[in-house]
Structure formats: structure tokens, C-alpha cells
Amino acid sequence: MIKQLFKFREMLLVVIIAVLLGVFSSRSPGFASPSNLSNIFNDTSILIILALGQMTVILTKSIDLSVAANVAFTGMAVAMLNAAHPGLPLALIVLIALGIGAILGAINGLFVWKLGIPSIVVTLGTLTIYRGMAFVLSGGGWVNAHQMTEPFLQTPRQLFLGLPVLGWTAIVIVAIIYIVMSRTFLGRAIYASGGNPTAAVYAGIDVGRTRFFAFVLSGTLAGLCGYLWVSRYAVAYVDIAAGFELDSVAACVIGGISTLGGIGSVAGAVLGSLFLGVIKNALPVINISPFSQMAISGGVIIAAVIFNARQERRRGRIILRDRGASETIEGIA
Amino acid sequence: MMTAALAESHPITPILEMRAISKTFPGVKALDDVNIALFPGEVTALIGENGAGKSTLVKILTGIYPSDEGEIHIDGRPVTFGNAQAAIDHGVTAIHQETVLFDELSVAENIFIGHAPKTSLGLVNWKGVNARALALLHSLESNIDPRTRLKDLSIAQRHLVAIARALSVDARIVIMDEPTAALSRKEVDDLFQIVKRLKAQGKAILFISHKFDEVYEIADNYAVFRDGKAVGSGALADISQNDIVRLMVGRSIEHAFPKVDIPLGETVLKVENYSHPTEFRDISFELRKGEILGIYGLVGAGRSEICQSLFGVTRPSGGRLELDGKEIQIRSPGDAIHAGIVYVPEERGRHGAVLQLPIYQNISLPSLGRTSRSGFLRAAEELALARTYAERFDLRAAALSVPVGTLSGGNQQKVVIGKWLATQPKILILDEPTKGIDIGSKAAVHAFISELAGEGLSIIMVSSELPEILGMSDRVLVMREGLSAGLFERAGMSAETLVRAATGNA
């Protein structure tokens, strides 16, 4: 029943996104054209990747507020590396980005796992630290497009079947995370650790270690986004992606991932991101100022939370009723 | 109607009467034309199996559910309880099985939280709060200081605070829903002293319990529910225990403890000088193949703590473990499961299942090592495993892919037990296996435990219920305040010797 509810919820998001596209394209012809849709998807790719990392963390009853700072630090690091050593192959740079991201994620994870500090406190701290590290690393300077190499800048922009490599990267990550969540021990442990930590411990799952790996996963994806971000915007500075951690949380919440942990799906996180992506891309088209955009995004998030809370409550009622009923059924049987 | 007859024949008029109460949940009649009367200064025991409708009655009486049909009369006048506050305003209060109290607040704050006396400025009148709390506690003949923080109290004292809280609203009708479930014998005695005082003050008490000895000790009247109907009521003095059981189950029940004598095999587990920094010290025992080892003691004696430590949830500070003659280290539940030791916790609902996950994923959760290959899960294997145990326990569910949260309580328990047996353990640790279960289901659980022992499983059973310990165990380890108070063979144990060892009364 709960599963159906979420399937219903995901369908609902698909419908809402479709309706939005319809409305916007009636105001601005061409909005729903394939090339513009591919644009929107490409534009939302980084958010999708970050939201998937955030999802794994939120599913374990934690939160990672440091993802955007991770993007900034890793982005700065690889941009400077690229500028200093133009000969380094891109594959190595991407690997380094993944590695730096993973280390930053592991630092969060270790604090949460070994010292038992609440993740919101840990990542609130590392959020500032990682961005400070980006400042120290760069001395406050910028890395501009002309300092970056051609492959560094252009590879994510290469079109393949009409979609840039950046978009394809998001699709590959979605597929990998889907497999991790549904087909691996780690994925199952993540759901169990968030759904009922005590029961998970009693079933032999190391909840702390599972959280650690969720943070490593989130950090690794943030590291990847660090490269993708500086490449896409062709610039690296300390304040890139400022506040973007909240977008990743918002995408998860809109996608139906319970902030209490244990409930949520890859499809939800992706749809939540796409929803935000469509709104962001559409509002300028229909002449709404960036400030109202923020207010609208905020309103949508609150609406999604209310919707979630109502669903939970309704589910509670169903369970109460079922209990009363089954109590008696058992009595009769 | 017997209750109506009772109300007429009874020498005093009831404070509260529920007349022809019916309550239907979708598809099921939870209460069917039920009558019950509560009299001032008397305790009425409400008896019935799980699902007989007791909880529904309590919820109607405390204003949580409305009834579909019927009337509630207080002092002969009909009343309606639209919500929980209305019930409290009419003097009905309930002390629940697991009362919610606040550890960090003082006793007085706990008692008056939500309805503290106010000063003329609308601020909390702390003098008044403390003074009234003191008066209330005195009326219960307790000398707890109302300014003590709750976390510094014993379980029994906390219970007393819960009762004081219930009485702080000028209650005339007190509902006690299995108040003794978590109490030791000594604490039960203290509680009954309080109940007697409440009786003396003329309050009407509805006492819900599964334990017949307690019912006979404290109650004046009985009301037996079965399948949502009131099947009998009257004065307890006029009815035998067997007759009550017969009313309750509607059929005669076989012997409650079908322990079958099984020839014991070789030693499976050897525990030597097992110690924990704070909870227990120098515990030694052996467990043999097919044996049921009972662990008995008062609440807080360290029984569950030993088991949790054997299962790797907490770390011991010393001692050694031998499994099948080889020394082993257990550092985590994963190690324990790997070694073939599993632990079914006391709170099976809270600690047992991940409600959001499907049935089959819950059953396979501790066995994923076996059902997966090179880190990847194999759904077909998981489903096959789940199907085996679902069939063994006659699990009733639409499909194995529905979340456990959608199942009834009884079926959830089956999932939890199935999950542990699916790991194919050598040693099964059961913590209070029949806590809060009615008599009919208890016998089934006991038969099942016997069956498992017969299959060669070694079982450690922690229990607070003496009849269960005496009836089921091959040997009993008695604990007192974290220390071993003796190991008793089946031949040499009696209720008296065990209680003496557990309480330290030589």
C-alpha cells in the first residue's frame, strides 16, 4: 500500500511536470520543443547528480549540507590543476575530482560514524570549512576559461544523440545509483538503517558504517559535480554553487524522500530535480524575476512538505484502522 | 445481558455504565452490543484474548474513538465523549501500558504537564505545582520529592508518578491497561497497595491484565470479552479461574507449557566469567544442544543485557565465550549471526522489523550474505527464502512484496520470528517471548519453542513470568543485580527457590 502510494506520487510529479511544460509552452511557443527539453535536462544534470547523493544520505536519517562546498572546493582544485598542468589527461582529472569528493565525504562520514555527532552539525561545520579551504587554495582568485584546456571545457558539451555528454553523465549516474539502491547490499542497508536503525542493528547491519558509505557516495558525486560545474560555467571561484546544497535537499523533499529516513526512490529524486529544473528554466521565459523565482521555489518546497506530511498522516490513519480491524479478525480466527 | 443484570443486582449504583456499545471498523465489528458497569471503590478486571475488543473499549472510554451505537452513563446521566479532554473532564483517566513521561523534567512537572496551576499573570505557579504534587504523592503514601528529576527514579517510582499524573485531574474512574507488564513482583505488590488506596478513596477502577494471579489478587468483579462481545461478568468470588479461561477462549485449552523432554546433546556454548563494565559481572553458564536455558530475575537484574552482549549489541569487558569448543569473539550482531547466534528482542515491534520494507526484504535482511552473490542481491533467492518461512508460519499477506507496516501485529511478529529462523541459527535467544500475549497464543508460542528445541536448537529464554520459566526451562540461571544468584536444574527448582534467589531473601 505504501509502495503504491509512492508510485502514485511519482506519477503525480510526472503529470505536474507535464502540465507545467504544457502551460509554459502555451505562453512561450517552443518551450516544449525537443531541443529546449534537452537543454533543460542538461541544465538540471548537476542537480540530479547531487540530489541522488543527498538522497542516499537522507535515506539513512542524515543530511549532507556540505555538498555545495564540496563542489566549490573540488571544482577549484581540478580547475587549478588543469591550469597548472594542461598536459594531464581529462580522465585523470575526473578521477581526481571523484577522489577529492570522496575524501571530503568520508570526513563527514567519519565524524558521524566514529564520534556519533549529528550529521546536520557535522556538515554545517564542514560546509564552512570546505569553502574556506577553497579560499585558501585559490587565495581568493579565479580560474577563468582561457586558463582551462580545450578537453576540460568542451568534453561535457559534446553532443551525442542530441544530448550533451553532461546530460548523458547524469543518465549514467542515475542508472548506477538505481542499481546500487535496488541490487546491492549497501542499498538495502541504507533503506534499513534509515527505516528502523535499531532493527537494522539487530539484523547485523552496521548502521554507522552504512551512514559513512552514504556520505562517501554523496561526497564522490559532489566531487564529480565540482568538475562538471566549473566546466559548464567555464569559471572557478570560491563562491560557486553557493546555497546549492539546499536545492539538492529540496529536490529530494519534492521527490517524496522522507526526511525521517527509510522512504524514497531514485525516481523521486530525479523527478524532484527535474521539477525544480523546469521551474527555474520556465520563469525567466514568462518574464518572472529571479527574486520571485526564489519565492516560488520556496513555496513549492513547503507545498511538497505539506503534501508529504498529509500522506504520512493519512497512512497513519489507515494503519490505525487496519489494526482495529485485524485485531478483531484475529480474535474471530 | 449479564452486566445489566449485575448492575441491577449489585448493592451499589455504578459510577459509570456503558450500555449496548457497538463499534465497527471497516469490515469488522470490534465491539458488539457490549455492556459494562464500574462501581465506586471496586476493581473490575477486564479479561480477554488479544483482539477481544479490550483496547477498543478503552479507547471509547477515553474519548479517542466515538462509539457507533450505545450510551455511556456517568452517575446515571448519559454523557458523550467527543474527544480525550471530554473524557478527562468527566473524571475518566487512563494509565497506559507504556506511559510517556519526560526524563529530564521533575516529578512535579511530569505530573502537571499540560495543566499546571497558573498565577494571576498566567505564568506557571511553581509553588502550587510542587505543593499539589507533594499532596498527590502523599495521598499515594509515597515520599518521592516532587523536585527530583524523573530519570533518577526507579521503574516502580516512575509508575507511581504516572499514576499521580492520572489522578492529578480529579479522576473518579481509573483505567489501568496492563500496568504490571514491566514490573517485578515486588513492584507489583507496591502497585497493588496503591490500587487499594484508590479503592478506599471510592474510585472505580478498570484493571486490564493477562495475569490471572494478579486479577484474583486485586479485582472484585470481572468482565470477560471474546471476539468483541461481553461473554460474562460478575463477582470474581463466584467464579473459578478455569471457568474464566473457558469464557475467554470459548474452548478448553490444553496444558499451557507443553515442554517436551528432549535428550540434551553436547555443549554448544560455554560462557565463562562474562562481565560488562556496568550491567553484569562474572556470569558463567553452559548451553547444550536442544536445551532451553531460562534466565530469571527482576527487571534490571541484567538479564537482557547479557543477551544483548552475547549478540554483540554491547561489548563485554571481560570473560570468554566458547562455541562448539572453540573460543570466539563477538564484536557486532553481524559476528553473532555469522556464528549462529540470534536474538529476538523483547520489543519485537520497535526492534524487529523495518516497516517500510517489503516482507521478503525483512525476512532476508539478516541472511543477505547467503542470498547475494559478489555484493549483488538476488531477489529470486530472497523471495524463495521468505516464502519458506512465510509458509511455515502461515503468514497472511496479499503478497510478499507488501511493506511489513501494512500487516496486523500478529503477522508482523511472524515476519520477525521468520527473519531470525531464516538465518538457520544454532542458538536462539528469546527475550520475554510471551510478553503481552494472551493465554491462548502463549500456549502456541510455548509449543513452538519446544518444537525448535526438539529440532536441536539451543535456546536461551529470558522471562519475568515464573510459570513460564518453571514450565519451559531445562535449567534456570537466576540473576540478581548483575550477578549470578544460582543455576538451578529442572529437578531442583521451585517457584520459591527461584524467587528467593532473585530477590535475595534467604
Which among B403, B423, B443 is the end of a domain? B423
Q: Do B351 and A323 touch (CB under 8 A)?
A: no
Q: Do A185 and B336 touch (CB under 8 A)?
A: no
Residue B440 has pLDDT above 70, yes or no: no
Do residue B272 and residue B403 come from a single domain?
no
| A76, A123, A141, B205 from A100: Cα distances, Å | 11, 16, 20, 67
Domain-located, residue B347: no
> In chain A, which residue's Cα lies nearest the Cα of B420?
A203
Mean pLDDT of B232-248: 83
Do residue B258 and residue B391 come from a single domain?
no
Domain-located, residue B455: yes
**In whole angstroms, what is the distance from residue A321 CA to residue B25 CA?**
7
Which chain B residues in 225-254 lie under 8 Å from chain A, judged by CB atoms?
Answer: 226-228
**In whole angstroms, what is the distance from residue B475 CA to residue B489 CA?**
5
On whether the CB atoms of residues A211 and A119 are closer than 8 A, the answer is yes
- pLDDT at B321 (0 to 100): 93
Which parts of B234-332 fold into alpha helices (H)? 241-249, 303-310
> In chain B, which residue's Cα lies nearest the Cα of A192?
B354
Q: Do B377 and A323 touch (CB under 8 A)?
A: no
Which among B407, B423, B439 is the end of a domain? B423
- pLDDT at B34 (0 to 100): 92
On whether the CB atoms of residues B418 and B449 are closer than 8 A, the answer is no
With 0-12 / 13-18 / 19 or more C-beta atoms within 10 angstroms meaning exposed / middle / buried, residue B505 is: exposed
Q: Give the whole-number percent of chain B exceeding pLDDT 70.
A: 91
Do residue B243 and residue B255 come from a single domain?
no
Q: Does B486 touch chain A (CB under 8 A)?
A: no
Which residues in chain B are contacts of A332 at CB distance < 8 A? 28, 51, 227
Domain-located, residue B166: yes
Mean pLDDT of B163-177: 86
- pLDDT at B439 (0 to 100): 63
**In whole angstroms, what is the distance from residue B97 CA to residue B112 CA?**
20
On whether the CB atoms of residues A73 and A137 are closer than 8 A, the answer is yes
Mean pLDDT of B36-62: 87
Q: What are phi and psi of B315, to 5 degrees?
A: -95, 135
Q: What are phi and psi of A164, to 5 degrees?
A: -65, 160
Do residue B94 and residue B133 come from a single domain?
yes
Q: Which of A58, A321, A327 to mutate to test the interface with B (most CBs of B within 10 A)?
A: A327
The residue written with cell numbers 499524573 in the block is B165
| pLDDT level of residue B9 (50, 70, 90 thresholds) | low
The H or E element containing residue A18 is helix A2-27
pLDDT in tens, B188-198: 888 888 889 88
| pLDDT level of residue B446 (50, 70, 90 thresholds) | confident
Domain-located, residue B401: yes
Domain-located, residue B177: yes
Q: Do B377 and A202 touch (CB under 8 A)?
A: no
Q: What is the mean pLDDT of chain B?
A: 84
User: Looking at the DSSP assignment, which residues form a beta bridge with residue A144?
Assistant: A235
- Note down pLDDT in tens along chain A; length 333 residues: 444 555 677 888 899 889 988 888 888 888 888 889 999 999 999 999 999 999 999 999 999 999 999 999 999 999 999 999 999 999 999 999 999 999 999 999 999 999 999 999 999 999 999 999 999 999 999 999 999 999 999 999 999 998 999 999 999 999 999 999 999 999 999 999 999 998 999 998 999 999 999 999 999 999 999 999 999 999 999 999 998 999 999 999 989 898 888 989 999 999 999 999 998 888 887 788 777 777 877 887 788 778 777 766 555 433 333 333 333 333 332
Q: Considering only the beta carbons, identify the residue of B55, B355, B377 that sits closest to A195.
A: B355
Q: Does B402 touch chain A (CB under 8 A)?
A: yes
- pLDDT at A82 (0 to 100): 96
Q: Give the whole-number percent of chain B exceeding pLDDT 90.
A: 30
- pLDDT at A301 (0 to 100): 77
CATH for A2-19+30-315? 1.10.3470
Do residue B472 and residue B326 come from a single domain?
yes
Query: Helices B495-503 & B185-200, crossing angle to 10 degrees?
Result: 90
**Ranges A104-118, B218-232, B367-381, B450-464: which has the least confidence:** B367-381
Q: Considering only the beta carbons, identify the residue of B313, B357, B419 that sits closest to A201.
A: B313
Do residue B226 and residue B255 come from a single domain?
no
**Ranges A171-175, B245-249, B399-403, B475-479: which has the least confidence:** B245-249
On whether the CB atoms of residues B498 and B475 are closer than 8 A, the answer is no
- pLDDT at B121 (0 to 100): 82
Domain-located, residue B438: yes
Do residue B256 and residue B368 come from a single domain?
no
Query: What is the domain count for chain B?
Result: 3
* Pairs of CB atoms within 8 A across A/B: 137
| pLDDT level of residue B406 (50, 70, 90 thresholds) | confident
- pLDDT at A215 (0 to 100): 98
Q: Do A203 and B365 touch (CB under 8 A)?
A: yes
Q: Considering only the beta carbons, identify the residue of A188, A321, A330 that sits closest to B51.
A: A330
Which range has the top average pLDDT, A293-302, B30-39, B157-166? B30-39
Distance from CA of B221 to the nearest CA of A (A): 23
Q: What are phi and psi of B80, to 5 degrees?
A: -125, 135
- The interface pTM score, or ipTM, of the predicted complex is 0.79
**In whole angstroms, what is the distance from residue B93 CA to residue B167 CA?**
7
- pLDDT at A7 (0 to 100): 66
Q: Considering only the beta carbons, identify the residue of B350, B357, B406 that sits closest to A195.
A: B357
Q: Do A203 and B375 touch (CB under 8 A)?
A: no
Do residue B372 and residue B406 come from a single domain?
yes
Which among B388, B405, B423 is the end of a domain? B423
**Ranges B24-33, B89-98, B435-444: which has the least confidence:** B435-444
Which residues in chain B are contacts of A326 at CB distance < 8 A? 51, 407-411
Q: Does B29 touch chain A (CB under 8 A)?
A: yes
Q: Model's pTM, two decimal places?
A: 0.75
Do residue B231 and residue B361 come from a single domain?
no
Q: What are phi and psi of B292, to 5 degrees?
A: -110, 110
pLDDT in tens, B449-462: 898 999 899 999 99
Q: Considering only the beta carbons, identify the residue of A2, A205, A328 that sits closest to B356.
A: A2
| pLDDT level of residue B154 (50, 70, 90 thresholds) | confident
**In whole angstroms, what is the distance from residue B191 CA to residue B157 CA?**
10
Mean pLDDT of B131-160: 85
Residue B313 belongs to domain spanning: 251-340+425-506
Q: Which of B22, B23, B24, B28 to mutate to test the interface with A (most CBs of A within 10 A)?
A: B28
CATH number where B136 lies: 3.40.50.300
Domain-located, residue B346: no
Q: Does B418 touch chain A (CB under 8 A)?
A: no
Residue B8 has pLDDT above 80, yes or no: no
Q: Which of B22, B24, B25 to mutate to test the interface with A (most CBs of A within 10 A)?
A: B25
> In chain A, which residue's Cα lies nearest the Cα of B28?
A325
Q: Does B414 touch chain A (CB under 8 A)?
A: no
Do residue B380 and residue B323 come from a single domain?
no
Q: Do B403 and A2 touch (CB under 8 A)?
A: yes
End-to-end CA distance of chain B: 51
Q: Which of A202, A258, A317, A319 to mutate to test the interface with B (most CBs of B within 10 A)?
A: A202
Q: Do B226 and A198 touch (CB under 8 A)?
A: no
Q: What are phi and psi of B314, to 5 degrees?
A: -120, 155
Q: Do A329 and B332 touch (CB under 8 A)?
A: no
Mean pLDDT of B222-237: 88
Nearest CA among A203, A198, A207 for reference residue B420: A203
Do residue B203 and residue B327 come from a single domain?
no
Do residue B445 and residue B404 come from a single domain?
no
User: Looking at the DSSP assignment, which residues form a beta bridge with residue B328?
Assistant: B321
| A312, B354, B357, B359, B399 from B403: Cα distances, Å | 14, 9, 5, 6, 9
**Ranges A216-230, B243-257, B356-370: which has the least confidence:** B243-257
**In whole angstroms, what is the distance from residue B381 CA to residue B369 CA?**
11
| pLDDT level of residue B310 (50, 70, 90 thresholds) | very high
Distance from CA of B119 to the nearest CA of A (A): 37
